[in-house]
A = this chain, B = another copy of it.
Amino acid sequence: MKFSVNQTAFINQINNVLRAISSKTTIPILTGIKIVVAKDGITLTGSNADITIQSTMTTAESSNELVVEEPGAIVLPARFFSEIIKKLPEKTVTVAVHEGFQTKITSGSAEFIINGQDAIHYPHLPEIESDVTIKMDADLLRDVIDQTRIAVSKQESRPILTGIHILLANGELTAIATDSHRLAQRKVKVDTGDASYDVVIPGDSMTELARLISDEKDPVDLQIAENQVRFKFGNTLFYSRLLEGNYPETSRLIPDTADTTIEVEASKFLSTIDRASLLSHQGHNNVVKLTIDPDQGVAKISGDSAEVGNVEENVMADSVKGAELEISFNPDYMSDALKSFGQSTILISFTSALRPFTLVPTENKEDFIQLITPVRTF
């Protein structure tokens, strides 16, 4: 096995697959990066058993400056190998299996020989047997992930809630996440054809995917098999396992009436919440109170903690309607939810001090909803 390649292009592809590689894996060979060299290109693979990322560099792509002298395969220690490649002195890097599984890396007058492992021992990629490919705009997919992943549970006590529930049918993708204290739901139009899927993808996988596609201009191809999902974009394949089990029915959690409402710019309300949480983070229970007085047209955020002090601020609301209300909640949940709306104006709808309340964009009340359960303080 021997090839030479442009350093910058190689580093970009290595960085892609490194996202899947953890030094904490229980399968030692997965701390390595697999390099498979064929006549027309090289393929890099990284995996942590949950996620597998595969990146291909072809000789046809001139910016790769890829010259294959001898096909073959090797597994090299991922972090160490990537650090070496990043620090090499010249822009051309040559990698050659040298003796046994020892691999020689040369660039200018620098020469490293590092111990590799036989690629035969690297786990096989999951098989995706599916005729259906669903195309999604990369930016839209990233938004769907970023707007729902905040509500994914971090508790392993109910593993199914550590995933994002994805429903695909009738020209619509619905993504739902809940940790049972809050819920995020986003619907977008996609061309599903006749296909219909109901799967749960680990939240961590989706978070990594969102990072990977952050600069992606082309659409992302999605294929779903029995226990795996595969996303394809550019020269990269991203595999994730699916979570087993049934996701709870969540539609009945979302209230369809409201007794009190506020309209407010999400970013302005976010600043107010972030200030109040400075105080709530110092105290024992991380709670702030919202007092709504529609007669006065005033909504006020307040918090107090015997040890450190108290805070009070009027919300710059565009409208305050309905019944008087005092409601308390975790400001971090509110902050996460508000960030997901960017610069939009939102409608917040309450029924009572102990019932969940919802946030939706005023421009699109059907397709995007954040729900937060209040905290009982009395």
Contact = CB atoms under 8 A, between A and B. Distances in A.
A87 interface: yes
Contact of A309 (B83, B88, B112, B279): B112
A282 B84 contact: no
A110 B271 CA distance: 10
A312 B111 contact: yes
B115 A308 contact: yes
A87 B308 contact: no
A102 interface: yes
Contact of A275 (B77, B87, B274, B308): B87
A113 B310 contact: yes
A80 interface: yes
Contacts of A313: 109-111
Copies in the complex: 2
A237 interface: no
A129 interface: no
Interface string A192-210: 0000000000000000000
Nearest to A76: B309
Interface in A71-130: 77, 80, 83-84, 87-89, 102, 109-115
B87 A282 contact: no
Given A308-B77, A309-B102, A311-B110, A275 B115 contact: no
A115 B274 contact: no
Contacts of A363: none
A278 B87 contact: yes
Contacts of A274: 87
11 contacts: A83-B278, A84-B278, A87-B274, A87-B275, A110-B313, A111-B313, A112-B278, A112-B311, A113-B310, A114-B279, A114-B308
